Amino acid sequence: MGNLDKAQTRKDPITFTGRTRSDAKRKALNYWFMNQSSLAMSIREFSARLVLLPDGKSIVFYDVPSA
């Protein structure tokens, strides 16, 4: 990644899909728990970057917040 800081890097969004909204939420929270050191953000910051898709069964995590 060179000398770019975290705010300058862009990653593809990650989609968590479950059978229900709760299942998708569980998958997203598990992802945060397993990667919290590399994500370097609190659960509140992580949650602020999640978007529930209209199907109600998918949640998208955007690593870089939209400006």
For residue range 10-66, what is the model confidence (pLDDT) as tens digits?
578 999 999 999 999 999 999 999 999 999 999 999 999 999 999 999 999 998 765
The confidence score (pLDDT) of residue 66 equals 55
In sequence order, what are the beta bridge partners of 58?
17
The confidence score (pLDDT) of residue 56 equals 94
The confidence score (pLDDT) of residue 5 equals 47
The confidence score (pLDDT) of residue 4 equals 38
d(CA 44, CA 41): 8
In sequence order, what are the beta bridge partners of 61?
14, 50
3-state secondary structure of 61: strand
The confidence score (pLDDT) of residue 10 equals 53
